[in-house]
Structure 1
Amino acid sequence: MLQSFYTAFTGLNADKTWLSVISDNIANVNTVGFKKENAVFEDLLARSLTTFKNGAPVNQEIGGGTFISTTVKDFSQGTFMNTNNPLDLALDGEGFFMVKDETGVTYYTRNGEFRLDANGDLINMLGMKVQGWMLDEQGNLAGAVGAINIPMDMPPKETTEIKFESPSNLDSRVEDATKMENDKAEIGSNFSHIGFDPSEANSYSYINTVTIYDSLGNPHSLSYYFQKVDGNTWRVYSTVDGAIVPIKLKFADNTINDNLYSYIEFQFDDQGKLITDSLKAGYQVSYKYDTDITKSAGEFDVSGLTAAIGSLHIKKIQKNNDEFLVNFHDSGVVRTITVDVGGTTETHYIGNILDSNGNIVGEIDYTSGKITFDDASIEKITLDYVEPVSSGATLTGTVDNPVKCPITTSYDTMTSPDVNNKNTIDISSFWNDLKQVASDFIFYAQQDGNSKGDIMSVAVSEDGTIRATYTNGKVKDIARLAVATFKDKEMLVRKGNWLYVPNVQTFTPVIMPGGVISKVRSGMLEMSNVDIASEFINLITAQRAYQANARVITTDDQILQETMNIKR
């Protein structure tokens, strides 16, 4: 009879444990990422006896009660709560976020309450670092899974590549550019015109400008002038901050022609598509660097230079023995004046020297080769310029990603640039997307440089890509979240604080980028999957079961009392 006491007592213990499981589930109804536990009851056997009657087995099995052998986690999806915080993340589907503590132990969690610390590391609310892959400049996964760091600022980057992309179009309906009166003619003794003047609208058909950046992040204006020569033939000239810059060609085998040219020329077929083997580079030039000229008799004599009109760029001036960085350039505008020299009339061609804001700071006489400044205290100038080498020289061939335009970055440093390692801008895919149809001019280009920028915001896409937006207007893919899953999730052990670890540390999870087995929901958190109504039903059931087992013990006690009363 005493056995029934202990049988009922096992029921009390099991129901008490079940109540603990239920109460834990209810207590965590508001815990982000919590997965409820289900109690598993297992029966006990006190004795089992098998006999045979008439050859048939007869079993006598007396149960010894019950106990909770294990709890099973319910990893079903919880509902999402909208927080509008972009770093609050939820997994829509399988898997776990990975976080690592300072000792190097990796934990797994469904709680996506993340934030950035002072160093830009993505961490959870316990300070553990969220794991993922950092991305390279092309947006590819770089290296192994590790901590995710979001740069708080973006350093300046010098422009090295410009891509002309669809829907760029040259209007086939425009008339051929009108040749200037002095085109291809000698102006003075050492200055020749190369068939293009940025100040003469009739010398080109269309212009557009791209902002580019030097190594310090200073912006400069790179302008492209499209000149329709005739029919389906076009030329492209370029200037940086108003100063003409030459062009370098890169061929299909990735070899670079070291010669510099004044323009590139190309043709379209009758379908408006580029004829790739029609590409030419015209008028070979030489880029001269850091030429120092000292004032004499109130003027600067540049008659010894063989320079193209509009190509002089003054980078530095000296006043009162002090040097100043400047950004002055020859405007390329040519006007004619008549000069009386000892009773003889001479015709001179005059241009203006402009600062970076377009203000006139001086004047250049192309005929005599003299520069005068409004500021008479300027004693010395340092300039670079484009020098014509061979008029009409062309280079014909198939060009792939062809155009490189050297630019000067020495506005921002007193150190002279290395002529043999001059910075260049690569206009790749220029030809692939350019077309000529009867439609308005469309100019669309991307460049890879930028000024310094400070972080403004962070966003996370469905595939776990973390993007940062900076004050310089750049949006950069920084990292991609790692998502881990397990073949048997019951191998995971709760460690508290929403964290799990495998019960065998050598057990390797399957790790993949976000978006593969589950989507990452930004601005949302996954709530607990505890169903209060279901837990209340279990609570009532556990309570009644406990009462029933208590009644069994009471009944056993009463029976024993009756037994004791047999003998009086």
Structure 2
Amino acid sequence: MLQSFYTAFTGLTADKTWLSVISDNIANVNTIGYKAERAVFEDLLARSLTTFKNGAPVNQEIGGGTYVAATVKDFSQGTFMNTNNPLDLALDGEGFFMVKDSAGVTYYTRNGEFRLDANGDLINMQGMKVQGWMLDENGNLAGAIGNINVPMDMNPKSTTYVAFDEPSNLDSRAAFIVDNPNTADVDESIFNPANSLTYNYVNAVTVYDSLGNPHELDYYFIHKQDTSGNAYWLVYASLDGKPVEIPKDGSNYAFLKISFKTDGSLDTTDIKGFGAVTDQGTETLTESSDSGEFTLSTSPVVPGSLGDVTYTVGTVTRTLYDDGKGNLIDKDTGDIRGSIDYSTGKIYISELANNGSTDSITVASYQTYDSTESTNALDPKQIETAAVSLNNGAAPMKLSFNILNLKQVASDFIFYAEQDGNSKGDLIALAVSEDGVIKATYSNGKVKDIARLAIATFKDKEMLVRKGEGLYLPNMQTFTPVIMPGGVISKVRSGMLEMSNVDIANEFINLITAQRSYQANARVITTDDQILQETMNIKR
């Protein structure tokens, strides 16, 4: 008789535990990343007796009640809540985010409420460091898993590489540059940036020095034809007006000579330097009449190569520089005081014309070029240039050109170039892609892949133990989870959070069931008490 009291009591105890599990689930209906718990009931056996009648077993089994043997976590996917915060992340699929505390312990969580701290480290709401791989300049995983740090600014990077990429095209229908007999005073067959008749196209790309200063890299394209009728192009490059020369076979060349195949693709076997450059010394020039005109002893002149031009007006000494576009600029005032015709070597100084005297000027140096070309061909993927000195304190710039994707077909001229430099930039925005790559946007317009989130999964997720605050630890510290980059087993949803997967309707049904079960077990105890009372009354 007394056994039934204790049997019913086990039911009360189990139902009380079940109610605790249900109330915990309901309480966490708004907890981000929470996974519902389910109580597992098992029966208790008070005694079991087996007898045999006519050789057949007869069992007599009396149960001792029930108990909650375990709780099982429901790891099913929760619904997503849109937050519009790019660092709020949710996993669409299997796995857990990895976070590490200050003691070096790694926890696992489905709660993706992350933010940046003052040092740029990605952390969760408890200040734990989110784990992942930092990426190198090419976007590849660099090193082992560790803390993710987002730089608050981007250092300037000097341009070292410029590539002509698709759909860059030189129009095969462009006219050949030849001497125009109708303008006897100008030879259009000799390149001159100041004369648009001496080239077909010009375009520019912005590059950066070691201090992050922008510079204009100009490309002039000149369509030519040799004596055999074969077409080719000359390409002249200048950096802020200074010539960008190509060293090959012991000489520097002013131009790049390129040819194309009959299908319009680049002829990689016929890419050479053209126009060997010769450095000329200092020259003092005297005008032949009071016209302000002076003529260098040798031409044609490499545009932008003219050294300082000095002369005296009264008691004032002027110093002019060549801007690479045919203008001579006063270094002190920035005024245009003269010009140079690169094809003839003629220099004109406006304030020295018709001043009643025969004046002289000194040219510190200049470069000329001829019509020779390099013996050996250049690599179209890596055409190295000579260093160009800058006067702003930055390191000299040495570039590498890649023209492999340049083509020539009967279509309009298209210029598209990429370069690898940048100015200084400050962090203005973050984004996270579906494969867990954290992308930082900086004020200089650059978007850089910073890191990739690490996602962990377990062969048996039930070995995970809740540690509160949405964190889990494996119950065996030596157990190694399966770790992989985001996007492999689950997609990372940016600007969203995974809500609790608690089903309120189901929990209310469980709540009603637990309540009725508790009442029924209580009634068993009441009934046992009444029967025991009747038994006591037999004595009367």
Q: TM-score, normalised by structure 2?
A: 0.86
Cα distance in 2 for partners of 1:172, 1:101 equals 64
One-letter amino acid matched to 2:254 = S
Q: Is residue 282–residue 365 contact of structure 2 (8 Å, CA) maintained in 1?
A: no
1:57–1:316 distance in 2 versus 1, CA, 3 Å? farther
Give the conservation status (yes or no) of the 8 Å contact 1:160–1:425: yes
Q: 1:145 Cα deviation (Å)?
A: 0.4
Worse overlay, 260-269 or 395-404: 395-404
Q: Does 1:282 align with 2:270?
A: no
Using the TM superposition, name which of 394-403 and 61-70 deviates more. Answer: 394-403
Matches within 5 A, 1:33-182: 33-179=33-179
Select 1:521's aligned residue among 482, 493, 504.
Answer: 493
In structure 1, distance between residues paired with 2:81 and 2:414: 45
- The structural deviation recorded for 1:196 is 1.5
Equivalent residues of 1:232, 1:269 under 8 A apart:
no
How many correspondences in the alignment? 512
Matched, 1:512 2:505: no
How far apart, in 1, do the equivalents of 2:381 and 2:4 lie?
90
The aligned runs of 1:108-257 (5 Å cut-off) are 108-179=108-179, 195-230=190-225, 232-248=231-247
Paired residue for 1:338?
A: none
Q: How does 1:131-530 map to 2 (within 5 A)?
A: 131-179=131-179, 195-230=190-225, 232-248=231-247, 259-285=251-277, 308-312=301-305, 328-333=321-326, 352-353=328-329, 360=336, 387-388=367-368, 391-397=371-377, 399-413=379-393, 423-428=397-402, 430-431=403-404, 433-530=405-502
The CA distance in 1 between the partners of 2:272 and 2:377, in whole Å, is 7
SS at match of 1:108: strand
Report the aligned-residue RMSD.
3.6
- Alpha carbons of structure 1 residues 471 and 406: separation in structure 2 relative to 1, 3 Å: farther
- Structure 2 unaligned regions, length at least 5: 287-291, 311-318, 352-361
Q: Any idea what SS the aligned residue of 1:530 has?
A: coil
Tell me the amino acid that sits aligned with residue 312 of structure 1: S
How far apart are residue 448 of structure 1 and its match?
A: 0.4
Which amino acid is the alignment partner of residue 474 of structure 1? Answer: K
- Report the Cα distance in structure 1 between the residues aligned to 2:275 and 2:88, rounded to whole angstroms: 59
Cα distance in 2, alignment partners of residues 49 and 357 from structure 1: 114
- Deviation by residue 1:207-252 (Cα, 9 ceiling, x = unmatched): 1100000110000000111110025311100111122221246xxx
CA change 1:193–1:524 in 2 (3 A) is: same
Q: Secondary structure at the match of 2:505?
A: helix
Number of the residue aligned with 2:532: 560
- Distance (Å, rounded) in 1 between the aligned partners of 2:400 and 2:78: 51
Q: Which secondary structure state, in structure 2, belongs to the residue aligned with residue 268 of structure 1?
A: coil
Distance (Å, rounded) in 2 between the aligned partners of 1:43 and 1:25: 24
8 Å CA contact 2:240–2:324 kept in 1: the answer is no
Deviation at 1:313, TM superposition (A): 6.3
Provide closer, same or farther for how the CA distance between residues 507 and 270 of structure 1 changes in structure 2, counting only shifts above 3 A.
Answer: same
TM-score, normalised via structure 1 length = 0.82
- Matched AA of 2:453: L
Gaps of 5+ in 1: 250-256, 318-325, 334-350, 375-381
Q: Does the Cα contact within 8 Å between 1:282 and 1:393 map onto a contact in 2? A: yes
Counterpart contact for 2:299–2:345, Cα < 8 Å: no
Letter in 2 for 1:176: F
Shift of 1:372: 7.1
Question: Following the alignment from structure 2 to structure 1, what is the Cα–Cα distance between the partners of residues 67 and 339?
Answer: 101
3-state DSSP of counterpart to 2:268: strand
The alpha-carbon deviation at position 177 of structure 1 amounts to: 1.8
Alpha-carbon separation, structure 1, partners of 2:408 and 2:345: 43
**For the structure 1 residues 451 and 385, does the alpha-carbon distance in structure 2 shift closer, same or farther, using more than 3 Å as the test?**
farther
SS for the counterpart of 2:223 is strand
Deviation at 1:308, TM superposition (A): 2.5
- Secondary structure of the residue aligned to 1:276 is coil
Who is 2:32 aligned against? 32
Change in Cα spacing, 1:560 to 1:383, as seen in structure 2 (3 Å) is farther
CA distance in 2, matches of 1:219, 1:439: 31
Report the Cα offset of residue 449 of structure 1: 0.4
The DSSP-based 3-state class of the residue aligned with 2:521 is helix
The amino acid that maps onto 1:271 is: D
